[in-house]
Chains A and B, each alone.
Chain A
């Protein structure tokens, strides 16, 4: 079934991206993949002068691990903007990352087997 509005573009009432990013160009996916998991490092203090989007990411990521895409989705940020702000926080030592995919496009057998077992246990 196709839900109404499937693939309709999201109507954007965002601040234009360049305002949030300070006019910087967005990093490529090589820097932070969409399914890389991120969380706030322990005992960090929100940087002075952090903008509302950084503050929102900070609060969200304080609760546990989420993928880069989930951070963007929960906060209604374009993926590229979320990735840039997360990269900043990581470079400043505020963020931990986990489960980064390998750079090479080689699929590892052990992961495939785990995925297969997990899916099979879903359907009993």
Chain B
């Protein structure tokens, strides 16, 4: 039916998920600070990306100190996410997650039920990606690398990235422009193909 709007267009008119949707999938978009996670999510999301916050407290300290003393061990972390209706009965949520070790509570929450993770990488700041890879592996998530190459004057070859990050041979490395919907979708496709290979 050419005259019918696609499910994505229908979903765009409302903040709500279409009532036919019975399945929700989640993919994490991870990477170091300012690598472009929010931009990536925004280029794909059918809703204005939402931001919410989670309070992170170190395990040894009580949440919410009632004495009103500044609790230095509590930090607030912003979480950005977007939504994409992929078929009549399926929506995909993209959650942007900061890659710091101190947000492990958040990672546990994020990782639960996630299909996998797309790791955005700025080739000029490869070393900042190591802690994020550690977290991904700790939570047993499958992942693909998307080199966000919009602002890199220097071209980095795939082999260079692969070697620097010490990737397994079958870990996909793709290049993307996080500002571009098509490019971002292609990066997710590379990840999902990889997930299918691993699930086989």
Contact = CB atoms under 8 A, between A and B. Distances in A.
Contact of B86 (A17, A34, A119): A119
Interface string A27-51: 0011001111100000000000000
A80 B54 contact: yes
A64 B16 contact: yes
Contact of A67 (B53, B64, B93): B93
Nearest to B79: A79
A91 interface: no
B26 A107 contact: no
Interface string A51-94: 00000000000011111011011101111101000000000000
Interface in A12-27: 12, 16-18, 25-26
A1 B189 contact: no
A56 to B, nearest CB: 14
Interface stretch (B129-137, B158-166, B168-176, B191-199): B191-199
B66 A18 contact: yes
Interface in A101-124: 101-102, 105, 107-109, 111-123
A99 B112 contact: no
B112 A29 contact: yes
Interface residues of B, number: 75
Contacts of A25: 63
B36 to A, nearest CB: 6
Nearest to A63: B16
A109 B14 contact: no
A12 B77 CA distance: 11
B64 A16 contact: yes
A10 B78 CA distance: 6
Nearest to B16: A64
A82 B54 CA distance: 10
Interface in B59-106: 63-64, 66, 75-81, 83-87, 90-93, 95, 98
B157 interface: no
Given A67-B93, A123-B182, 20 more contacts: A3-B39, A3-B42, A6-B39, A7-B33, A29-B108, A33-B26, A33-B113, A37-B24, A65-B19, A67-B24, A69-B79, A69-B81, A78-B53, A98-B24, A99-B23, A111-B115, A112-B196, A116-B192, A118-B86, A122-B185
13 contacts: A1-B36, A25-B63, A26-B63, A33-B26, A65-B21, A70-B81, A79-B54, A98-B22, A112-B199, A116-B189, A117-B86, A120-B189, A122-B185
